[in-house]
Each structure stands twice: as C-alpha cells, then as structure tokens.
Structure 1
Amino acid sequence: MLEHGGRLLRAARTYDIAPSEWLDLSTGISPFAWPVPEVPASAWHRLPEDDDGLIETARDYYDASHLLPVAGSQAAIQALPRMRAHSRVGVIAPGYAEHAHAWRAAGHEVETLAADALLSAHERFDVVALIHPNNPGGERFERATLLALHCALAPRGGWLVVDEAFLDATPHDSLCDASDREGLIVLRSVGKFFGLAGARAGFVCASPELIGRLRETLGPWTLSGPTRWALRHALADRPWQATQRERLLAAGERLRRVLTDAGLAPTAGCAFFQWRRDPRAAALHEALARRGILTRLFEQPASLRFGLPADEAGFERLASGLASALSEDAA
C-alpha cells in the first residue's frame, strides 16, 4: 500500500511523543469539523436505504444531475480502472499517487506527466486523470480548458476523470454541473471540507450509464447508515458551509504567510494546504517531527506539504518550530 499522511500513532511511537502532544499537519483535512449531532439509534439498527434523502441533498449541494455515494473518493479511484478494457492513461504528477497506482494495478498503460505536458499530450491517451486543485502541486484549471479536453476524449470513448477532493472552498470552479456528459467523471470527497475523514464518504458525479455500472461494481450499501444520516444534514447546512469557506480561505492564506516569513515560501497551495519543494525536505520533516510537528513528506520531488493548524496556538507553534528547525539545519 502507498504511503499517506495522518500516521500520527506511528509518529508518536517513532519519536516517543504522546499523540495528544502533536501538531498534526500531515493531511489536507480541515481541522474545523462540521459538528455532528447525536445520531439516532435507527441509523445504527437498520440497513442503509437509498431513498433516505441523501441523494437529493447531495445533488443540490454539488449541482450534479446524477451521483453515487461511495466510501470516500478512494473507493471510486480503485473501482473505475476495473470498468475499462486496457487503456492508455495519463495521470497528473506530482499528484495523489493512488490514481496512477490504481490504473497500473488494473493492468493499464500509465504515464505520469506534469499538468501542462499532460494537457498538451492528451491525444495519446484514452483516459486523463486530473486533480483540481492538484494535491500537492496546487495546479488549477480553467473550466473551458477541461471541457475542451473532455470533448477531445469523449468521441473516441475516452474518459476525463477530475478529482475535486479539495474544491469545496471554491465550488464555482467545479465541473459537477457538467458531469452528466458521457466520459466526464467528477470525484468529490466529504472528508476534507467537512472535516469528517473518519466517515469515509464521497460522491461520484457522472452520466447515468456510468453511475449504474459503478453501482453494480461496488455493490449495495456503499455507505453506512450513520454516515448517510450525518452527510444528509452536513450537506444541507448552508450557513455552516459559508462560514467554513471563509475560515478555510483565511487559514490557507495565514499558513502561506507563516511559511513565507520562515523563508519557506510555498511552491503552491490551496485553502487546505501549502506545498514547498525543497531539497532539505527530508531533514526538515525529521527536525519538525522531533518537535512534535508532523508534516507530509514527499520523496519525488523532494517536498513538504503543510496542512492547516486549528487555532492561533497551532500557528504560533508552527512558526516557532520552523524557526528552531531551520536554525538547526543552518548550524
């Protein structure tokens, strides 16, 4: 299995620092979670039902005509490659590595390319997988560019897969409203924006035909009853969502300033994280970990991704830890 952020318990054992003492910035998950109310007992006792109102609420939130709840966008990332015959697949890099991994594991011919190179070379691919905004590279794409790419792929049976896991803070950039077109598949994650990663929930927005095939591939009950209940309420909570967007955008900008002030101006980023390419990445990751600050280390390219601190104390601790770690490196 591939390496991911969020391995707090492992870090706690490695550095002999109690989990409660860490500043965990290793994921892009919002530290500001939607406040889940008490879940009714019936959600635990009964099998999940498709007509509980979740689909309608999700269609309204995502502005998508057809969608399928899944156990996190990861479930779709793994299932979609099994739904195609052997294909030539272009995947954005650097990016969420599970995309390329899943297509390769299903026997497809995969090439990873930087965003500009991938867009210019789309003619040689049957499937193009993009992340918008990219994780960790931060690239963003014009709507017209993505729709033109889809129009080039679809007539020959191709797919454009757009992973919008980090797009909820800027929903006007989404392609969900166009996802009923054959060959356009949009993946959405609930965990990042709503801070509910433990729910393992997401949605696939696509044409009715592909949604039907994916439903058959994944089988019944893709989400638990309690998760469906919580999502139905979270997706309908428009006042909280508006506040969350403002909070995330402000925190992302604050994080950018903290890193810049430390001499680590981000290479890229978005409302959920900031990313720094740096040859010292491994040493900085280690130095920060010894101070109880967990970041996400990437080996290729050498880089660090910083998630959002939850409060003022977290930002101050990060600033102090960076100063100390960089002083140690300089010495």
Structure 2
Amino acid sequence: MKLLDGAIAAVDHGGSLGRASALFPHAPRPFVDLSTGINPHSYPIFELPATTLSRLPEAARLGELRAVAAGAYGAPSTAHVAAAPGTQILLPRVASLVKPGKALVLGPTYAEHSRAAAIAGHAAADVDDVEALAEADLAVVVNPNNPDGRVVERERLLQLAAHLRAKGGLLVVDEAFMDVGPGGESLAGDVGQGGIVVLRSFGKFFGLAGVRLGFALADTLTVQRLETQLG
C-alpha cells in the first residue's frame, strides 16, 4: 500500500503535442501521440445546424442525451444517468459523496482517481489486491484497467459494493474502456442498488475529443446530488 500523503498536484498524463515539441524540438515530425486513450477513428461528423454554435442547448435535449446514454450503457433508466463535460470533472464530485475517510484505489492505474479523492479530503492510497478494498470508505476500481487491461469480475464487485454499502461506503467503477471490454462484467445495470457509481467516457470509444462528455451512472438520489453540484 502506498500512501499518497495528501498530494493533490495535477499529474501530467501526456497528450500535449505543444509541450512535447518544446521538450524535443529536434525530434522528427509528425509526432505519433501514444499517450492518450482517445479513439483515433472518430464517429463520422454529420452536417451541424448553425444553431449548434449560436445558442445554448435546451434542457430537453440534455434529457435526450441521458436517455441515449442509458440505453447505450445499460443503466436502469434515464434517471440513473448524470451527464457532465468530461468524466474528469466528475471525479472529485463523486469522491465527495462520501464523508472524508479512507480512499483505496486498485492499482497501478490512472492516477487522477487518487488525486480526486485527496481533493475531496480522503486519505488516499493505492492497493494491489481487490480484497484490501473492503477496508475503504471509498473504493475505486478501473475496469477494464488502464494500463494493463485487468478485469475484475462483476459478481466480485457486487459483493464488494454490498459490503461497502452496509457501512455507508461507496464503490466507484471507472468503465472508460468497457466499450471494448467484456460488457457482461459492467455494473451499469446494477447502480439502482445504491452504493455504486459507474463512470463512462465518451471519447475513449467514439473519439471526437473536442466534445467534452462523460457520464456518471448511479441511483437516482446520487444522480440528483451530482447534477446539483454540476449546476
């Protein structure tokens, strides 16, 4: 177990060609960027109406988006989906759903989960054993995992969620790469039980990186809390 000492400094995950060019000014061009998890074969762009750039989206259109997401990811209903401008902005808000305590992240994995837990006031640590997550107030599993593709079975995660829920804890499952993973292991359809938040990322599979879009799937009360925070 590695204690993170409450450090909340942003981690450089790569993805900035400008920064890479400054660091390696004499490198051959073009750069091949292998540092991001964005699908380079984006969903085909259709003709956008002029109103797309000239007015704010109506609330009803957000409802349509949530309904499509619920169907695509297998959430129980639209009411179990919160949409956000990227999954990243959700991380500290999800971590704050539990009062500050012990946050354990199954690693090695994406470093932002530990940082977000620290921002929310938790004592954050990485662990390398699923069983150790039972000691957490906030447990985080990236499933399938980044960077090694590890998959934790759905039934095992549901048992962990039940244990955490009984003591007022929360299981967060980041399914950013589940679109190309074993869909039967997703917890999206189980979030109505409570004590589970599933995160889904748009750009990892659909590309269109300029569209900042992500989703939190959870019980209806948790969705309402997150939407209140997002404004």
Give the TM interval when normalised to the shorter protein: 0.7 to 0.9
Distance 1:41 1:93, change over 3 A: same
CA RMSD of aligned residues (A): 1.6
Structure 1 segment 138-287 matched on structure 2, within 5 A: 138-170=149-181, 171-219=183-231
Provide Cα deviations, 1:193-229, integer angstroms capped at 9, x if missing partner: 011222111110000000000011111xxxxxxxxxx
Choose 1 or 2 for highest CA Rg.
Answer: 1
- Residue 278 of structure 1 corresponds to which residue in structure 2? none
- Residue 136 of structure 1 corresponds to which residue in structure 2? 147
- Residue 23 of structure 1 corresponds to which residue in structure 2? 32
Structure 1 residue 102: Cα displacement:
0.9
- Residue 7 of structure 2 corresponds to which residue in structure 1? none
- Residue 49 of structure 2 corresponds to which residue in structure 1? 40
- Take 1:123 and 1:131, find their aligned partners in 2: how far apart are those partners? 16
Do the aligned partners of 1:9 and 1:19 also contact (CA within 8 Å) in 2? no
- Residue 71 of structure 1 corresponds to which residue in structure 2? 85
The amino acid that maps onto 1:43 is: T
Structure 1 residue 58: Cα displacement:
1.2
- Take 1:19 and 1:81, find their aligned partners in 2: how far apart are those partners? 42
- Take 2:102 and 2:111, find their aligned partners in 1: how far apart are those partners? 17
| 1:10 pairs with 2:19 | yes
The amino acid that maps onto 1:214 is: L
Provide Cα deviations, 1:24-68, integer angstroms capped at 9, x if missing partner: 111121111111212212222222223122121111111112101
- Take 1:181 and 1:29, find their aligned partners in 2: how far apart are those partners? 31
| 1:127 pairs with 2:138 | yes
- Take 1:182 and 1:125, find their aligned partners in 2: how far apart are those partners? 16
Structure 1 residue 18: Cα displacement:
7.8
Structure 1 residue 133: Cα displacement:
0.9
- Take 1:121 and 1:18, find their aligned partners in 2: how far apart are those partners? 44
- Take 2:28 and 2:81, find their aligned partners in 1: how far apart are those partners? 37
Structure 1 residue 19: Cα displacement:
9.0
- Structure 2 alignment gaps of length 5 or more: 1-9
Provide Cα deviations, 1:47-104, integer angstroms capped at 9, x if missing partner: 2223122121111111112101111111111212233321211112211101001111
Scaled by the length of structure 1, the TM-score of the pair is 0.62
Do the aligned partners of 1:29 and 1:191 also contact (CA within 8 Å) in 2? yes
Provide the secondary structure at the position in 2 that maps to 1:198.
coil
Aligned counterpart in structure 2 of residue 89 of structure 1, from 98, 103, 110: 103
The amino acid that maps onto 2:134 is: E
Provide Cα deviations, 1:247-301, integer angstroms capped at 9, x if missing partner: xxxxxxxxxxxxxxxxxxxxxxxxxxxxxxxxxxxxxxxxxxxxxxxxxxxxxxx
Do the aligned partners of 1:163 and 1:187 also contact (CA within 8 Å) in 2? yes
Structure 1 residue 141: Cα displacement:
1.0
- Residue 69 of structure 2 corresponds to which residue in structure 1? 58
Do the aligned partners of 2:98 and 2:138 also contact (CA within 8 Å) in 1? no
Do the aligned partners of 2:137 and 2:170 also contact (CA within 8 Å) in 1? yes
The amino acid that maps onto 1:101 is: R
The amino acid that maps onto 2:43 is: W
The amino acid that maps onto 1:24 is: D
- Residue 80 of structure 1 corresponds to which residue in structure 2? 94
- Residue 258 of structure 1 corresponds to which residue in structure 2? none
Scaled by the length of structure 2, the TM-score of the pair is 0.88
The amino acid that maps onto 1:184 is: I
The amino acid that maps onto 1:70 is: A
- Take 1:218 and 1:212, find their aligned partners in 2: how far apart are those partners? 10
Aligned residues: 216
